[in-house]
Structures are given as C-alpha cells and as structure tokens.
Amino acid sequence: MLSSKAHGALRLASIHNRAYEFFKRIGPLRRFVQGARGVWHRYRVPAWYVEGVSRTDAEPLSMVFVGHLESKNYFAHLMFAGECAERFLGTTWTWNAWRNGVRLGPDMIVTRELSGSRPSRGRDRGYCIPSWIGTETDVDRAGALCRKSGSIKRDVRRLTRSGLTYVVTTDPEAIASFYHTMCLPYARRAHGNRAMLTPWEEFSSELDCAELIQVQRNGETIAGNLLVDLGERRVRARALGVKNGDLEYVQLGAVVALYYFMVEHLLKKGCEKIHFGASRPFLKDGVLRFKKKYGARIVDRDRHVFRVNVARYSDGAKSFLRNNPFVSESNGCYYANFFVDRTADIDGKDFRSNVASLSIAGIAAARVYSLENARGPADAGGPVAEPVCFELQPDAEPFAPET
C-alpha cells in the first residue's frame, strides 16, 4: 500500500499534468487574445481637439489629432504659438479619424498610423508624412565637408576655443552612466513633453557592438554619442546626450563636437557609412538641417506615418503649410513639399533659393502647392477646393546640400 505521503505526491502530479494539458490547449487561444489586444491598441487610439493661434502668423487654427500623446504634443508645438486649448475626445479607430474628426469642424485632422495598414492603402487624400526619417552619409564625404565647409569650420573654431577633446570607450558601466546622466536628461530638457525616450533594454541589448564617444572639457566628461556597429563598415549614431541636460554645455559646443569628433573617429577606423539615426521630417527642423552639413541624405523611414488632412483651408491652416515644408513618401520615393500663396510665386528667385536651401539629398522631386484657389468648406464635411500641385525635378544646383 502507498503511504499518505505517496498519495499526496501522486495527486500533485495528476493536478500538474491536468494543468499542463489545459494550458497547452489554450495556448493558441492565449496567443489569439494577445494578438487581438495588439491590434486593438494599434488601431484604437486616443484623440484630441486642439485649438489656438498659428505659430507664425497668429491666425486662428484648430486640429483634431488621432494617435500618440508625444506626437500630439509635437504637432501642437509645430502648429501653435504659446498655450493652446485642448479637449480629450476619447478613443477612435484610425480609419474613422476623418469621418469623426470633420464633424467637429477643425482646420486640420492629423492621424498617426502604420504606413502599411489596410486603411491607409485604401485612402489617398491628404499628405503622408513619415513619423521619422533616417539619414546617412559617406564617411569620406563627411570628412571632405569638414575640411571645406565654412559652417563646419566655424563650428570647429568654437569647440577649439572651448577646449573640447574626446575619448572613446566600450565600458558597459560608462554607457549605462551615459544613458542615465546624459541621454535621458538631455532628451527631456531639449524636447519636454515631446520627448521620445528609448528604454534602457534597447541600449543594453546593443552593448556588445557599441562604443561611446565622450566629449571632455578639462578632464570632465560633458557629453556623449553612442555608436552601434551595423556591420559592413557601417555605423549608426544611436543616441547622444549632454551631462544633466545642461544647456550651458550645449552653448560651449558639446553637441557640435559630438558630430565632428564622430567623423574624425570613424575616418581613423576606416568606416564607410554613418547612419545619423532618426530625424523629424520637417525641413526647417534644426537637427535635420545640422545633419545636412555633413552630407546627410534620406535612406529610410519609420514604419509610422502622419496622415495630414486639411478639412478647411483657413488662414491658420495655410499659415502652417507655408511655414512648415516637409518630406512626404509615396510609392517608395521621398518628396520635399512646399506651399506658396500664389502660383506666380513659384518662379520667384526667393522661393527657388528657399527650395535649394531646405531640400535634402535623397528626394525624388520637390512638390510645390499653390494655395491661391484652395478654399472651404463653408460647412463641416462639405467640398474642399484643394491646392494645385506642381512638381519640380531636382537638378544638380538647387538640390545640392549646403556647404
């Protein structure tokens, strides 16, 4: 006969086996539930109604934004001057954003969504703007620009006056310290509630192929730039940061030094390509324009896009479009998009000069929209008179990077 202890062990084993078989059977169901939950969070997203005055011309302006909190804050920063009023609308399906948003009578409806989503492919109105664009340059070209570019030479004189030098380390503790004391504080200080903070797990997973450039002043490390080896002599600038997010170090030239020293270091290593990481797709963005000085060209983009629809071509909406030229993507090609008040402005010398200074390598053409006859609608949901589009093919001169 079995002892009571043996009976207990058998009962536990039986319970364990039944539990195992139960969870084994519901495994596919659990994965289905997890997948359904992922789809829900991907397409059922929060929405806000935001209104204020346009940043440049102080014209009344309103927007319905559907998507992501930090992205909503980013668009509000681009569009509005100072404080703006906003109202949370709850959640909605991304494919219903236009239908639900236009009932509220905003000037613009902006949706952040996956570019490959089925609703996106079935809808062709509005402007498809990548959430982030990736840029890259040849290391040799960047090195040549360091020797020839007047702008970079001025930067170098500035960092020399500040006594900035650099060292390179692969120490995991140094990289961890950089993440917590430089990367996060600088992102929060520079971008506020628009900051997209990369979790430490993403950094730690790349430590075996990463190195950190540290900018120093009088032996003190004041800034850093994490570089990740992508193989085939190609390196990605993963993230940069400034000690405690202190803008005094930025004024000394710490961020300028990170780019210049990165090029110098990679030339010595014999690398061929630098991927500069992600940038916002608006052509007046300071970070994007700074990367252009080193020969940056667009090579890829984030999987999310902003679908920008103009519901009403008000003076505020026109002001935003005129003053915020952007990169769009269509059928795998990138375009620089500009807006003018009148068709005649396209042939103006000042406008052509503006296109030349703001366009970036990697675009297929510049699309110029005339707002001259863009109107309405008078009633919410009524017809809109869209702007007329002209396409300027790039030639060597107007689309050449700044030197």
Give the pLDDT confidence of 303-332 residue by residue, as tens digits: 999 999 999 999 999 999 999 999 999 888
The boundaries of the domain holding residue 244 are: 137-279+286-298
166 assigned to some structural domain: yes
Predicted confidence (pLDDT) at residue 382 exceeds the cutoff of 80: no
Residues 243 and 192 in one domain: yes
CA distances from 207 to 139, 200, 215 (A): 23, 11, 19
Predicted confidence (pLDDT) at residue 401 exceeds the cutoff of 50: no
Q: What's the pTM?
A: 0.84
Helix, strand or coil for residue 393?
coil
Residues 271 and 332 in one domain: no
Residue finishing a domain among 298, 333, 348? 298
Neighbours of 380 (CB within 10 A): 13
Residues 240 and 362 in one domain: no
Neighbours of 209 (CB within 10 A): 14
Predicted confidence (pLDDT) at residue 403 exceeds the cutoff of 50: no
Over the chain, what is the mean pLDDT? 86
163 assigned to some structural domain: yes
How far apart CA 75 and CA 127 sit, in angstroms, is 14
Weakest mean pLDDT among 10-14, 234-238, 316-320, 390-394 = 10-14
Tens digit of each residue's pLDDT (9 = 90 or more) over 341-370 = 999 999 888 898 899 899 999 999 999 999
Give the model's pLDDT for residue 400: 41
Sign of the Cα pseudo-torsion (394, 397, 402, 403, in order)? positive
- Residues with Cβ within 8 Å of residue 300, at least 6 apart in sequence: 133, 134
65 assigned to some structural domain: no
| Residue predicted with more confidence, 399 or 190 | 190
- Phi-psi region for residue 132, left (φ > 0), alpha (ψ -120 to 50) or beta? beta
| CATH, residue 175 | 3.40.630.30
> Mean pLDDT across the stretch 107-127?
71
Predicted confidence (pLDDT) at residue 124 exceeds the cutoff of 70: no
How far apart CA 156 and CA 260 sit, in angstroms, is 8
Residues 266 and 395 in one domain: no
Give the model's pLDDT for residue 355: 92
Sign of the Cα pseudo-torsion (123, 128, 276, 214, in order)? negative
Unique residue bearing structure tokens 């900051």:
195
80 assigned to some structural domain: no
Residues 292 and 341 in one domain: no
> Mean pLDDT across the stretch 158-170?
95
Residues 264 and 338 in one domain: no
Give the model's pLDDT for residue 270: 95
18 assigned to some structural domain: no
Predicted confidence (pLDDT) at residue 34 exceeds the cutoff of 50: no
Residues 260 and 375 in one domain: no
Residues 254 and 372 in one domain: no
